[in-house]
Amino acid sequence: MSHLPEIDIPLLDHHTHGVIPTDLDYKQFQASFSESYLPPPEGTSEFHKPLGLVIRRFCAPLLDLQPFASGEEYVARRLELGAEEVNRRFMRAGGFERLLIDTGFKSDTILGVGEMSELAAVPANEVVRIEAVAEDVVRSGVDAAGFAHALRERLVERSRDAIALKTIVAYRTTFKVDQTAPRDDEVVEAAGRWLKEIEASGKVRLSDPVIQRATLWAAADICRERRFPLQVHSGLGDDVDLHACDPSLFTDFIRAMQDWKVPITLLHNYPFIQQAGWLTEIFQNVYIDTGVVQNYTGPSSGRIIRESLESAKFSKILFSTDAMALSELYYLGSVLFRIGLRKALDEWLQDGFLTHKDADAIIEDIAYRNARRIYNLDG
């Protein structure tokens, strides 16, 4: 029996992506809530995992099905209703006050910022993924000597109407990269090498450490000027060296950004939530979320949220869904956060560690107040 009321205030989702506007068949739907490049082993299903359970439990009723309808029934009903109707239902039911949307991943198959805003009927802002910008720069034609300048120009331009920048350095070089700014001549040389590789392979993918560092520091500079937070992917992902994505490996860069007064928002953090939480205690500029982790841990999401509260400062915890492709993932991120946070705080209350008033302050801080403050959305 809970002593706290349900958490029904609007949430500011500070890190998310667009949804797919088109219909998805059974196979496509499953692939959209998997982090694997391959389908599950023959004879098994993506529904048979924690995230599959909570889709069936919480999403089925919004499509007029019984809770725990089968995966097959679920996808059939989803097709019957059509993606547009489904997406509208989930996005509206999520209870968001605003969405901050990373537009740098698979942007050709998912909705953009304006479309997401319309779908969810709330304001939305763009978060610019800096590695995608660097890749755009070389795609649009530049020589080695001109790369750094063009990158800077493009980042400035792309961030004009944005609200924050984001780096996925963890994916590209891992956090075990030299975290200082490279010298100009190093950047020219690395850009030359990269351009040659692109010419040879036909593929554009930023993975060179020097280019990564140049991109990171160019972005940091803009964050400093614009008072933008820098979002930093941390921990779990679809193709990462997990051990090298512990955010405590990124301490040197974090410290440098502290000197520059740039807020660093560490995203996801699993399975390094304890490390991330502790960094909020040490560094003035560190913020954390557990986006995507709530969804992938489903029935265990309450434990995840409890862990994020373990040592982190309450003024440093943010809410995000990190939803992508499926509007279900937005809705679930919201629902599981509300259930899990309430349960965690209710335990504290019953153990005598908390008052109702403190519970409210913590909930409001995480739900929107911390994000409004650091993303300059107050007043």
Residue ranges that bind a second copy, judged by CB under 8 A = 34-36, 38-41, 43-46, 48-50, 53-54, 57, 68, 236, 238-239, 241-243, 246, 248-249, 251, 258, 270-271, 274-275, 278-279, 281-285, 296-300, 302-303, 306, 309-315, 348, 351-355, 358, 361, 365, 373
Best CA proximity match to 268, nearest among 249, 296, 244: 296
On the 0-12 / 13-18 / 19+ scale of CB atoms within 10 A, 42 is exposed
Cβ-Cβ contacts under 8 Å for 171 (sequence gap 6 or more): 233, 237, 239, 240
Closer to a second copy at the Cβ: 113 or 264?
Answer: 264
* Alpha-helix residue ranges (DSSP H) falling in 285-376: 293-297, 301-308, 327-350, 356-364, 370-374
Q: Residue 12 Cβ, how far from a second copy at the closest point, in Å? A: 17
Q: Residue 58 Cβ, how far from a second copy at the closest point, in Å? A: 9
How distant is the alpha carbon of residue 59 from its chain centre? 21
Estimate the share of the chain in helix, then strand, then coil, as percent rounded to the nearest 5. Answer: 55, 10, 35
Q: How far apart are CA 40 and CA 92, in angstroms?
A: 31
How distant is the alpha carbon of residue 126 from its chain centre? 12
Q: Are 250 and 234 in contact (CB under 8 A)?
A: yes
CA distances 3 to 158, 308, 342, 350, 357, Å, are 47, 21, 9, 8, 13
Q: How far apart are CA 183 and CA 313, in angstroms?
A: 36
Q: How far apart are CA 136 and CA 142, in angstroms?
A: 10
Q: How far apart are CA 101 and CA 363, in angstroms?
A: 22
Q: How far apart are CA 188 and CA 150, in angstroms?
A: 12
Q: Residue 11 Cβ, how far from a second copy at the closest point, in Å? A: 19
Q: How far apart are CA 56 and CA 249, in angstroms?
A: 37
Closer to a second copy at the Cβ: 60 or 150?
Answer: 60
Closer to a second copy at the Cβ: 155 or 277?
Answer: 277
Closer to a second copy at the Cβ: 137 or 223?
Answer: 223
| CA terminus-to-terminus distance, the chain | 38
Closer to a second copy at the Cβ: 208 or 365?
Answer: 365
Closer to a second copy at the Cβ: 105 or 314?
Answer: 314
Q: Residue 106 Cβ, how far from a second copy at the closest point, in Å? A: 18
Q: Residue 373 Cβ, how far from a second copy at the closest point, in Å? A: 7
Closer to a second copy at the Cβ: 64 or 281?
Answer: 281
